[in-house]
Structure 1
Amino acid sequence: MACDAPLRGGCLCGAVRYELDGPPGPIVLCHCGQCRKAQGSAFAVVAPVPAAHFRLVAGAERLRSHESSPGKWRSFCGDCGSPIHSRRDAHPELLRLRIGSLDPPFDQRPSAHIHVASKAPWWQIDDTLPQHPGVEPGR
């Protein structure tokens, strides 16, 4: 699905900038241990986007990737460390965008919590969104 104008986003220091043609897919709050470590928080806020709809417009040379598990790559700004997206070798057509990297205005809401079986013990989920012990059904 395409928008009239692309969504824009980037890293904290502004070195990496991107545009996204069309809205992201369903936003989920991922509570897995890797996302907690990568974000430095209780969860990551992510959504799938077609790789063909994502384009770097600045800072491609500053984008770094880390293989956090076999075939899964997390991309971030090499200057400020801001996470941008992740991708899997098995699904090169899809990125999982870090929603916090989008510029305002953006008002799409999360649809579920995932990997709650491994959530941080110090975090309490107190909203009414569906909670899944692993990945969301259908993924």
Structure 2
Amino acid sequence: MADKFILSDEEWSKRLTPDEYRVLRHHGTERPGSGCFLGTKTPGTYVCAGCGNPLFKSGEKFESGTGWPSFTQPLQADAVTEYQDRSYGMLRTEVRCGRCDGHLGHVFPDGPPPTGLRYCMNSVAMKHVPEGQPIQLVTK
């Protein structure tokens, strides 16, 4: 993975849309069923909307029925990091971008084989790079 991508809160607020900023930098979420990638089946790679870090291949995406795009596993182990999340009186595992630490969503142990995991992501936290197009990391 590329080096960590670190910006000040002010720099992030200037680079991201208001929705991207709310989700990626302030651990927000989008309403279920509202994300632009919910029904997307186009082959390619999902990358972090904040820094361009490759996160998930389209072949790992599945219909979970939860209202958010779901994946069985990240592209590589260090593409994401996981943290214990005790917000809202629940115990969940938060998923963040391994490069810029942006909030992506949560992972749950109720996914399909072979991993049994459901990476439940916010569409606004990702961008889709169609298969065959280059992935470009965001730089300062």
TM over 0.5: same fold? no
Please state which structure has a larger fraction of its residues in helix: 2
Please state which structure has a larger fraction of its residues in strand: 1
TM-score relative to the length of structure 1 = 0.32
TM-score relative to the length of structure 2 = 0.31
